[in-house]
Structure 1
């Protein structure tokens, strides 16, 4: 069986996120460990689903898989995710994004100071009129909080890159939303600073996390477009 098929045999549903999750297992695990890692991913997923039934879905597949690849204890890590979630849930309105943010911080082995830094970064970016605390960019704050780079440098670099990108062909306001632009800019900045992270797993996780966030956004946009198209078609035919 392929890694993808092994995931499906454990009850994971077919999705773009599952493809990325399968790739992560194939790329970062020994073949003899595939089943064990996927079973751990299922345990992580079920633990989160039990606590947040409506927030946990296919968009969590990549993160539970990355958690499963590590040597993190499932029970302790799930409790840590929940603790961070409880701490941050009243700070941000998008609860699904808060859960993703909590997963990222645990994956990055963040301590309480790292969690606090998320709030510091939120305020710092907003002071420069950069809104990183929206639905799809909120988890990115977690990625930035894990970087061993000072806040001013992060803001300066991201602001510079997004300004540069906005002036490039194909990145105008009618083609790329502000959240998408921030994700592109952040991915470039994270890539530049990634070498400062000594932990190989954390470094790989940051890169994959941005991919996951982008997939989640594109999936949501496609679903919204499909719903809108169906509504228009229904209106026209009635």
Structure 2
């Protein structure tokens, strides 16, 4: 718990600085909580002036109607700074990835920028081919779940596209997970779809094994007094990917309760739980030799994608873009 306590202290310190400077510039303070968490989960130092300079740079470089001129710029400033030593130098590559996705048929919205950031992090050899493969996967998702699949699924489509598995085989595996999870107490919907997408990224485990462990974690949450809401399904999936993920819940609960007792966060219990999971998983990745390097990288990227997607949803930046359910 010593490491976790330091994480909480650093998280509060970063959030407090962000809140002092930007409290009147964001529609929901939860956005700043998520931004602060990116620095903690990536184990990066935070400098408010350096961050502000990068956020301002992104705004200046963006078109008049770009989401990057809104509070979304804080999200992407944090993602760039926590992933790259010279974040400004990576900005053109970020925009190039975004343009490749749009050219492949993705809509112009915040989630496309999130997907573009994941592409830049992965550093693919060919942006065009990866974008086109992601678009094919996304369309297949919509064929299976027309009313569930929307813009918020763009980032996971890009992550799935980075795997070599044939598309039809990948979609079958996702649907198998979705069906079996729903038969084991998980409620059908977009959160369950996201959960099945995340679990499908672990190609070395059988669907039945991952569903069984997910159900075990779900039941343990209830025993720990943590209501396993559908919004937490992605966090359950992340825990399932971690070796002995079920053993981490006591630590997660302790951190969650500690955050709930903080004056700054006491009204944000659902977000606090997501943060607790993020902090524990990030620590496990840093210190575990049990995880394959490839899976560790996947989990790190998933955490970043989930945090960014949460920011987009919280800030309302993607509400209008998502209202038609996607294309």
Shorter-chain TM-score: which interval? 0.7 to 0.9
State the TM-score, normalizing by the size of structure 2.
0.62
Contact 2:242 2:291 in 1 (8 A): no
TM-score normalised by structure 1 residue count: 0.84
Aligned to 1:104: 198
What is the SS of the residue equivalent to 2:108?
coil
Q: What does residue 165 of structure 2 align with?
A: 72
Q: Which range moved further: 213-222 or 60-69?
A: 213-222
For 2:135 and 2:222, how far apart are their aligned partners in 1? 37
Q: In the alignment, which residue of structure 1 is the partner of 2:277?
A: 186
Query: Match for residue 23 of structure 1?
Result: 117
Moved more, 153-162 or 184-193: 153-162
Correspondences of 1:161-172 after superposition (within 5 Å): 161-172=255-266
Measured on the aligned residues, the alpha-carbon RMSD in Å equals 2.2
Q: Take 1:134 and 1:210, find their aligned partners in 2: how far apart are those partners?
A: 18
Contact 2:114 2:308 in 1 (8 A): no
Residue 150 of structure 1 and its aligned partner are, at CA, apart by 5.1
1:223/1:2 CA distance change after superposition, 3 Å: closer
* Structure 2 partner of 1:61: 154
SS in 2 for 1:137: helix
Measure the CA separation in 1 of the matches of 2:132 and 2:104: 7
* Deviation per residue, 1:204-236 (Å, 9 max, x gap): 322332333344444444459x89xxxxxxxxx
- 1:168: how far off? 2.8
Q: Which residue of 1 aligns with 2:107?
A: 13
Q: Is the 8 A contact 2:134 2:158 kept in 1?
A: yes
Contact 1:183-1:210 at 8 Å conserved across structures: no
Match of 2:214 in 1: 118
Q: Does residue 154 of the first structure (1) align with residue 245 of the second (2)?
A: no
Is the CA contact (8 Å cut-off) linking 1:70 and 1:201 kept in structure 2?
Answer: no
Comparing 16-25 and 116-125, the one that deviates more = 16-25
CA shift for structure 1 position 169: 4.0
CA distance in 2, matches of 1:66, 1:96: 17
The answer as to 2:248 corresponding to 1:130 is no
What is the alpha-carbon distance in structure 1 between the residues aligned to residue 297 and residue 263 of structure 2?
Answer: 30
Partner SS, residue 129 of structure 2: helix
1:150 and 1:212, CA in 2 relative to 1: closer, same or farther beyond 3 A?
Answer: closer
Aligned counterpart in structure 1 of residue 299 of structure 2, from 182, 185, 206:
206
Q: Which residue of 1 aligns with 2:238?
A: 143
Asked if the contact 1:136/1:217 (under 8 Å) is kept, the reply is: no
Q: Mind listing any 5+ residue stretches in structure 1 that lack a counterpart?
A: 228-238
Count of aligned pairs between the two proteins: 220
Counterparts of 2:114 and 2:295 in 1: how far apart (Å)?
17
Q: Please give the alpha-carbon distance, in whole angstroms, between the structure 2 residues aligned to 1:94 and 1:134.
A: 12
Select between 78-87 and 162-171 the one with higher mean Cα deviation.
Answer: 162-171
Instruction: Supply the distance in 1 between the matched residues of 2:142 and 2:303 (Cα, whole angstroms).
Output: 22
Cα distance in 2 for residues equivalent to 1:135 and 1:183: 12
Q: Counterpart of 2:12?
A: none
Find the residue that maps to 1:2 and give its secondary structure. helix
Correspondence for 1:236: none
